[in-house]
Amino acid sequence: MRKRKVAVLGATGTVGQRFIGLLQGHPWFEISALTTSDAKAGKRYGDVTPWHWSGEMPANAAGMTLQPTSADLDAEICFSALPADAAEQWEAALAKTGHHVFSNVKTHRMDDDVPLLIAEVNAEHMHALEVQRRKRGWSGSIVTNGNCSAIGFALAAAPLHKTFGIERAVVTTMQALSGAGYPGVASLDALDNVVPFIAEEEEKMQQETKKFLGTWDGKRFVEATFAFSAHCNRVSVRDGHTETVSLTLRGSPSPDAVKSAMRDFRGRPQELKLPTAPEHPIHVRDGRDRPQPILDRDTERGMAAVVGRVREDPAMGIKYVVLTHNTIRGAAGASILNAELLAAEGCLGN
Ligand code: NAP
């Protein structure tokens, strides 16, 4: 596979920095542009970016000159970690000028011709791009990731929906601070505290999950129909969203049958052996006090969902805990995997 030029939009932010880290040494993609708000355009990335992750800022990125986001970037693929207002302005404009945009932003997620993709879960939704190109006349495209908590829920629940069928689900999230971007939640609000509200989060989880676990019928998305309720909380954890999940599944399978469905789950990325794909998308742990963010969030380089405490729920049938790394599996890593999938499937041209 030849190397494709990629741009990171919103490169100075929390997710933008993750993209830069994950794209180092990528076998198919090389960074050709980093974009920022107008105020920092023209400056060296390394001079104006406080690096938030462990290890040194990659030297190639540090030396690059930041560009304003524009529709004529020298890149085939644009990984978008923009704030929503900037995404509104630029993502469609970039698709129109031939760029393949892989977005982490809410702006286009629920559009009726835009795939909301988890590469292992609903790869067939990529066929919506044929409708998108026809309808909008774009030579490029937009593919989106979901909200970071919705990705965690849907990845672990996908084999259960496929194998048994979900009738109803209730999830309570404990979401990391990095999910709010940088500087995010003020330290005096975050420390020693749980904040039981994250703007728009419950609505996004409830809507996006139905699209993820629904189908593409060749013309339109058909949403999953089970009843779903999300409670979203911000907790004082740096990275990694933990979710407690209670489900009613058709046929009332046992905890062992649920664990087997999760452990056996594989998708197109595993079949195609994509560079960013985890070997096992879901790891099921038997320890009674796992998963925990500080112990489990980096499983398979942060690309696996880690499930534990699968047991009977006297009210709903089955319950468990799932943990995903929000800036990797819930954002930058998921986007890179989506781009690898579409490149491997021939959807991005030769
Ligand atoms: P963030 O830390 O606030 O970073 C956003 C960055 O975009 C900032 O560094 C900002 O500042 C830059 N920016 C602003 N206007 C721009 C423009 N016109 N062109 C290019 N860059 C611009 O936020 P984040 O957490 O990385 O989130 C980015 C997007 O991903 C958001 O839409 C968010 O909802 C979504 N998301 C985040 C997560 C997560 O876990 N954090 C997960 C899933 C999705 P400067 O350019 O001025 O430095």
- Indicate if 130 and 153 belong to the same structural domain: no
Q: By C-alpha distance, which of 341, 275, 263 is closest to 303?
A: 275
Catalytic residue selected from 100, 241, 280, 325: 241
Beta bridge partners of 317: 313
Is there a catalytic annotation at residue 148?
yes
Q: What's the pLDDT at 167?
A: 98
In a domain? residue 157: yes
Taking only the tens place, the pLDDT of each residue in 291-350 is 999 999 999 999 999 999 999 999 999 999 999 999 999 999 999 999 999 999 999 988
Q: Read out DSSP for 94-152?
A: HHHTT-EEEE-SSTTTT-TTS-B--TTT-GGGGGHHHHHHHHH--SSEEEE---HHHHH
Q: Residue 224: what pLDDT?
A: 98
Tell me the pLDDT tens digit for each residue of 13-44: 999 999 999 999 999 999 999 999 999 999 99
Same domain, 197 and 122: no
Ligand 1 pocket residue status of 274, Cβ below 6 Å? no
Tell me the one-letter amino acid at 269.
P
Measured between alpha carbons, how far is 189 from 236 in angstroms, rounded to an integer? 9
DSSP for 281-333 reads SEEE--STT---HHHHTTGGGGTSEEEEEEEEETTTEEEEEEEE-TTIIIIIH
**Is the beta carbon of 179 within 6 A of some atom in ligand 1?**
yes
- Three-state secondary structure call for residue 249: strand
Q: Ligand 1 in contact with 83 (CB < 6 A)? A: yes
Beta-strand relationship, 100-103 and 141-144: parallel
pLDDT at 349: 87
Tell me the mean pLDDT in the region 232-259: 98
Residues 156 and 271 in one domain: yes
Q: Which helix (H) or strand (E) holds 234?
A: strand 227-235
Task: Give the position, in ligand 1's atom list, of the atom nearest the Cα of 89.
Answer: 18
Clarify whether residues 98 and 163 are in a common domain.
no
CA of 219 to the centre of ligand 1 (A): 32
350 in any annotated domain: no
Q: What is the mean pLDDT of residues 84-110?
A: 98
CATH at residue 51 = 3.40.50.720
Both 28 and 109 in one domain: the answer is: yes
Ligand 1 center to 86 CA (angstroms): 9
Torsion of CA 232, 234, 239, 243, to 10 degrees: -30
pLDDT tens-digit map of 204-219? 999 999 999 999 999 9
224/298 same-domain check: yes
241 is catalytic: yes
C-beta 121 within 6 A of ligand 1: no
Residues in the chain: 350
Tell whether 162 is covered by a domain.
yes
Residues 222, 194 share a domain: yes
Residue 334 CA to residue 281 CA, distance in Å, equals 12
CATH number at residue 302: 3.30.360.10
pLDDT at res. 95: 98
Q: Output the six-digit token pair for 4.
A: 């494709």
**Ligand 1 atom closest to the CA of 83, numbered from 1:** 32
What domain range is 174 assigned to? Answer: 148-325
- Assigned domain for 164 exists: yes
Please indicate whether residue 95, judged by its CB atom, sits closer than 6 Å to ligand 1: no
Q: What pLDDT was estimated at residue 31?
A: 98
Long-range contacts of range 81-89, CB-CB < 8 Å, 24 or more positions apart? 81/8, 81/9, 81/10, 81/11, 81/13, 81/14, 81/15, 81/16, 81/18, 81/19, 81/105, 81/331, 81/332, 82/9, 82/10, 83/10, 86/9, 86/10, 86/37
Q: What is the pLDDT of residue 350?
A: 80
The response to whether residue 207 sits with its C-beta less than 6 Å from ligand 1 reads no
What is the number of structural domains in the chain?
A: 2
* Residues 76 and 200 reside in one and the same domain: no
On whether residue 349 sits in a domain, the answer given is: no
| Angle, in degrees to the nearest 10, between helices 255-264 and 148-163 | 110
Whether 209 is in a domain gets the answer: yes
Name the residue of 20, 22, 37, 208 whose CB sits within 8 Å of the most ligand 1 atoms, as the mutation to test its pocket.
37
pTM: 0.98
Strand duo 194-195 + 227-235: pairing: antiparallel
147-199 pLDDT per residue, tens: 999 999 999 999 999 999 999 999 999 999 999 999 999 999 999 999 999 99
Q: What is the pLDDT of residue 324?
A: 98
Mean pLDDT of 50-68: 95
38 and 72 share one domain: yes
Residue 1 predicted with pLDDT over 80:
no
Cβ(334) to ligand 1 under 6 A?
Answer: no
Averaged over 260-278, what is the pLDDT? 98
Backbone angles phi and psi of 38, in degrees to 5: -55, -35
Tell me: do 306 and 159 sit in the same domain. yes
Residue 227 corresponds to which amino acid?
A
Q: Is the pLDDT of residue 45 over 80?
A: yes
